[in-house]
C-alpha cells in the first residue's frame, strides 16, 4: 500500500511537471513571436533604406530634367529650414542659409503629370502595393505608407570637366554647380488621423512605429545658365 505522504509527494511532482511544461510552452510561444517581430522590423528597415535611395534618385532625375536653374534659385533663397545645415552660422548676420526641400508629394505630382504613374503603389486587400503584403482582416496586415523629404544645400560652382570652355562668352553663360542632397525616408503605419496633412510628420501612434533612414549624396549640375 502507498501511504498518504507518498500520495502527496506524487501529486506535488505531477504539479511541478505540469508547471514546468507550461513554462516551456509559454517560452517557446514568446520566442516564436519575437522572431516574427524581429523579421518584421528588419523588413521595414530594408524597405526604408530602399525608399531613401529612391528619394535621392528621384530628386536627382528632377534636377536633371531641365529644372536645375529653377531649383538653384530656390535653394539660394533659403526660405526652408533644413536639418542638414541647421547649425551653420552665416558669415553675414541675418543672411539666408541656402536650402530647399522637396517632398514625396511634389515628386509624385510631377511623375503623375508626366507618366500617369504613382511613386508608390498603395496596399489593397488583393494587392500588396510597393510595401506589401496585401491588407488583410484586422490583426493580420496593417497598411503601411512611405514618405520622404530631400534637402538641397551647399550650392557652389564646381571645376568644369576637361574639355569645357575656359574663356569666352560660352564660359560666362554657363557653369557647373554641385549640390548636397540629404534624403530622409520613412516607412510607418498609415496616418489615419491627419491623412497626409503633413508631408513628413504623423501622429504619435504612427511616428513611434516608424522606421527612418538618411542618405547623403553630392550631385553636379552641368551647364547651368547663370
pLDDT tens digits for the chain (226 residues)? 555 556 666 777 778 888 888 888 888 887 777 777 788 888 889 999 999 999 999 999 999 878 888 999 999 998 888 888 888 888 888 888 999 999 999 999 988 988 888 898 888 888 888 887 887 665 455 688 899 999 999 998 887 767 666 655 555 678 889 999 999 999 988 877 776 667 777 777 677 788 999 999 999 988 888 7
Phi and psi at 86, nearest 5°, equal -65, -25
The pLDDT assigned to 170 comes to: 53
pLDDT confidence of residue 8: 62
Rounded Cα gap, residues 173 and 67, in angstroms: 17
Query: What pLDDT score does 166 carry?
Result: 60
At 178, list the grid cell: 554641385
φ, ψ for residue 163, nearest 5 deg: 100, -10
148's enclosing H/E stretch is: strand 144-157
Q: 172: which DSSP letter?
A: H
Among 60, 46, 151, 139, CA closest to 98: 151
Amino acid at each position: 500500500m502507498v501511504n498518504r505522504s507518498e500520495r502527496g509527494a506524487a501529486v506535488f511532482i505531477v504539479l511541478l511537471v505540469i508547471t514546468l511544461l507550461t513554462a516551456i510552452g509559454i517560452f517557446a510561444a514568446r520566442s516564436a513571436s519575437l522572431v516574427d517581430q524581429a523579421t518584421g522590423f528588419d523588413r521595414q528597415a530594408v524597405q526604408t533604406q530602399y525608399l531613401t535611395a529612391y528619394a535621392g534618385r528621384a530628386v536627382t532625375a528632377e534636377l536633371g530634367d531641365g529644372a536645375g536653374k529653377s531649383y538653384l534659385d530656390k535653394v539660394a533663397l533659403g526660405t526652408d529650414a533644413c536639418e542638414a545645415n541647421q547649425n551653420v552660422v552665416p558669415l553675414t548676420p541675418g543672411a539666408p542659409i541656402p536650402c530647399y526641400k522637396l517632398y514625396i508629394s511634389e515628386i509624385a505630382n510631377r511623375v503623375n503629370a508626366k507618366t500617369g504613374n504613382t511613386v508608390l503603389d498603395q496596399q489593397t486587400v488583393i494587392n500588396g502595393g510597393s510595401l506589401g503584403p496585401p491588407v488583410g482582416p484586422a490583426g493580420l496586415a496593417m497598411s503601411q505608407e512611405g514618405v520622404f523629404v530631400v534637402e538641397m544645400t551647399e550650392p557652389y560652382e564646381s571645376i568644369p570637366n576637361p574639355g569645357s570652355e575656359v574663356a569666352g562668352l560660352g564660359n560666362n553663360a554657363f557653369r557647373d554647380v554641385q549640390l548636397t542632397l540629404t534624403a530622409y525616408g520613412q516607412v510607418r503605419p498609415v496616418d489615419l488621423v491627419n491623412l497626409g496633412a503633413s508631408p513628413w510628420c504623423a501622429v504619435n501612434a504612427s511616428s513611434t512605429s516608424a522606421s527612418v533612414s538618411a542618405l547623403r549624396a553630392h550631385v553636379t549640375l552641368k551647364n547651368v545658365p547663370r
